[in-house]
Structure 1
Amino acid sequence: MERIVVVGAGHMGSVIVRGLLDGMPRVEVVVVEPSAERRASLDGGAEVAAAYEPRPDDLLVLAIPPQAFDSFADGLPPGACAQATVVSVMAGVRLETLASALGTGAVLRAMPNLASRVGQSMTVLCPGDQVSTGGMERAKGALSVIGKVLVVQDESLLDAATAVAGSGPALVAYLAQSFTDFARGAGFGTHDALLLTSQVLRGTADVLAEPGVTPESLYQQASTPHGTTAEGIATLREHRVGESVRAALEATTERARELAG
């Protein structure tokens, strides 16, 4: 039976484990969590261990904080990861660092986002040069249980992915706050204001996913000359909202590069 080992039972690790249990019932799922308190709080369905005991052909998912990686790697027996495929969801830990510390070139980096908790993550996945086609497909399949997966070959793109996919939900939520504030100011209750905003975002995302639709084609289609939408788009342009959003994404990307060293 295929075995997937998730190291770390924090927020992201727990989300991945739940997704694996629900979406890949024929896979053996093991959770490695050093904290006894956190182990005791885990739901059933997965085997739970305090330390990683390697087996050949494991798919090893590292969902630990980046600052805990050195300690984890130092505690492994020699050659523990030699036959494993390792997927890291640790922000900022480069492929070269992973390969050197773990003693294997079969390493991949993944950048999921907070929408993973509702199965709608946009995860960007980058394989190292020594990852086999089979290892790539296993990693992609495992991460597909929490949402969509986009594979890139250029590791430098992960910094921009951190901005667009990783920080994107928070940036969108910041903008959504303006929608809900406006609706509440117009007289809607808090619940209804959030319903209006969340459904607008959900419906817009679904329309953008249709073949041939782009953001520009969508807002142009909705903008009747001299109409309400056209007036709104003109005001956004006047206040340079698009430039502000791009500046925020550029700042986030630069910060990701700094954190990665």
Structure 2
Amino acid sequence: MKILIIGGGNMGKTYARSLLRAHLVQPEDLMMLERSPEKAAALSKENLGVIHTSPDGCLNVADLIILAVKPQDSAALFASLRPAADPQQVYLSIMAGVTMKTIQDGLGVEKVIRAMPNLPAQIGLGMTAYTASEAVTRIELVLVQNLLNTTGKAIYVEKEEEIDATTAISGSGPAYVLYFMQAMIEAAQDMGFNASQAELLVAQTFRGAVELQMKNDLSCQEWIDRVSSKGGTTEAAMKTFRATSVFEDIKSGAAAALQRARELGQS
């Protein structure tokens, strides 16, 4: 299988590294298309397969094409690729908000898989949801799932609308977590810790809490109840969070992200 990754940004490079590291593709069968000569020159030094600056000579020989460009660049991308696009090729898009129908119409193809990875994919701890058009075969879907699993974990969803929901939860989610972490880091510094001490305290606390939740059957609320002794420090913090609607604000933020994802899909 020959794979072409279009876009030499962070996610494009993440997939290239992950595929090579997992030996799912040989270096000579992995191609990257980056139109910027400067970026292409930099990519060529990273040993991420064969680097191209034009679709000529790479698009027509690829079995799977990964679209890893910004959503706002999709229209121009489709116009440049359509003349050489082959209906038998599989297109995997990680462009937020760009629907499968938009890709099919823009490229004149039928086999489209839409996926939403997140930032931790860069370190092999990503969470990706994906769905596919009816023309994609079961074998092709399994191949793509194996590809996505090289960056962490992947789940298949039946409805494309669920990809927008994934964008709001796991796609944007790392920013929510980091936002909460930043607040705790600043709180620790206000209490007298220096910056490095505060970051270590908070980072290890988050890491431990996540591992604890993932390796046991208790729900998040059950763990909160275990930590919150009656009349204790944790209970005091949780009462403040409830009084200031932190819980509902987080849900409202996720809902706003979902609405924006839907707007991007309609524009």
Letter in 2 for 1:143: L
By how many angstroms is 1:41 displaced? 0.5
Q: CA RMSD in A?
A: 1.7
1:138 corresponding residue in structure 2: 143
- Once the two structures are superposed, residues 157-178 of structure 1 have per-residue CA deviations (whole angstroms, 9 ceiling, x without a partner) of 1222111111111111111111
CA contact (8 A) 2:67 2:91 kept: yes
Moved more, 25-34 or 163-172: 25-34
1:37-186 equivalences in 2 (<5 Å): 37-42=38-43, 43-52=46-55, 53-55=58-60, 58-76=63-81, 78=83, 80-186=85-191
| Equivalent pair of 2:15/2:151 in contact (CA under 8 Å) | yes
* Counterpart Cα distance in 1 of 2:219 and 2:242: 18
Moved more, 205-214 or 76-85: 76-85
State the Cα distance separating 1:33 from its structure 2 match: 1.0
What is the CA–CA distance in structure 1 between the aligned matches of 2:8 and 2:124, rounded to whole Å? 17
1:99 Cα offset (Å): 1.3
1:35 alignment counterpart: 36
Q: Which residue of 2 aligns with 1:214?
A: 219
Q: Counterparts of 2:225 and 2:38 in 1: how far apart (Å)? A: 54
Alignment match, 2:20: 21
Deviation (angstroms), 1:56: 6.1
Query: Displacement, 1:26?
Result: 4.2
Which sections of structure 2, spanning at least 5 residues, go unmatched?
none
Between the two proteins, the alignment pairs up a number of residues equal to 260
Give the TM-score of the pair, scaled to structure 2: 0.91
Shift of 1:196: 1.1
Partner of 1:251 in structure 2? 256
TM-score of the two chains, using structure 1 as the length reference: 0.93
**Aligned partners of 1:156, 1:199: CA distance in 2, in Å?**
35
Deviation string, structure 1 residues 35-66 (Cα, Å, up to 9, x no partner): 11111101114111122323567121000122
Give the Cα–Cα distance (whole angstroms) in 1 for the partners of residues 223 and 93 of structure 2: 36
Q: Distance in 2 between matches of 1:249 and 1:51?
A: 38
Corresponding letter in the other structure for 2:137: S
**Contact residue 129 and residue 156 of structure 2 kept, 8 A:** yes
Note if contact 2:112-2:133 (Cα within 8 Å) is conserved in structure 1. Answer: yes
Distance in 2, matches of 1:191 and 1:214, equals 31
Secondary structure of the residue aligned to 2:207 is helix
Counterparts of 1:150 and 1:25, CA distance in 2? 19
Q: Are the counterparts in 2 of residues 57 and 83 from structure 1 also a CA contact under 8 Å?
A: no
What runs of 5+ residues in structure 1 fail to find an aligned partner?
Answer: none
Question: CA separation of 1:25/1:136 partners in 2, compared to 1, >3 Å: closer, same or farther?
Answer: closer
Tell me what 1:12 maps to: 11
Residues 1:162 and 1:219: Cα distance change in structure 2 (over 3 Å): same
Alignment partners' CA distance in 2, 1:100 and 1:70: 11
Letter in 1 for 2:197: D
Q: Percent identity, aligned pairs only? A: 32
Indicate conservation of the 8 Å contact 2:82/2:106, yes or no: no
Farther-moved stretch of structure 1 (68-77 vs 100-109): 68-77
